[in-house]
Amino acid sequence: MVVTEAIAGLGAIKTAFDMAKALENIHEAVARDRAVIDLQREILAAQQAQFALVDRLRDLEKELAKFEDWETEKTRYYLRDYGGATLAYELKGAPPGGEPPHRICPACYQNRKKGLLQSRGLNAYRQEIVKCTGCDKELELGSRVERNFSARARTDFDPFTGR
């Protein structure tokens, strides 16, 4: 009987020990699950940061491509002095592919844009008035020439050459 009670007591102790160990394992499982959740949260944050960096890299690559395109495009033009300290960029040589001769705005050119200058006619000083399609700025090209109103008006004036 004592042996039976001792064995039963040992069985109870073993059961209590197993229960304590199970409780410890439950605590470890909760801590492990909490650590896994924290790790997943960090991985998600790192992935979001990576996606943001990939998007930024893509934007920078597009910006670089535009910059490189402009570097190529701007070599097609030269800065021309129309007289009287008036300047505009003009297409060099024969235009490729049937592109008409044209001029672009110096302000737009400096901002890596191609604002075409559209002629608006001549002012009273025989300067050609042009308006930029990019920035809406109006420019007066050519030297100021006082008009002689008593003389017959010139009809052979070429605004591109200033003569």
- Residue 154 forms part of a structural domain: no
This model's pTM is above 0.95: no
The predicted pLDDT at position 13 comes to 73
Domain end marker among 53, 75, 97: 75
pLDDT digits (tens, 9 = 90+) for 19-63: 667 777 777 878 778 888 888 888 888 899 899 989 999 999 999
DSSP string covering 78-116:
EEEE-STT-EEEEE-SSPGGGPPP-EE-HHHHHTT---B
In-domain check, residue 163: no
Task: Give the confidence band of 132 by pLDDT, cuts at 50, 70, 90.
Answer: very high
Q: Could you tell me if 64 and 7 lie in one domain?
A: yes
Q: For residue 19, which phi and psi values (nearest 5 degrees)?
A: -65, -40
Q: For residues 83 and 143, what is the distance between their CA atoms, to the nearest angstrom?
A: 5
Would you say residue 148 lies in a domain? no
DSSP 3-state of 18:
helix
* Residue among 70, 76, 73, 89 nearest 139 (CA): 89
Number of domains in the chain: 2
Residue 131 belongs to what domain range? Answer: 77-141
**Per-residue b or e along 4-42, where b marks 16 or more CB atoms closer than 10 Å to that residue's CB:** eeeeeeeeeeeeeeeeeeeeeeeeeeeeeeeeeeeeeee
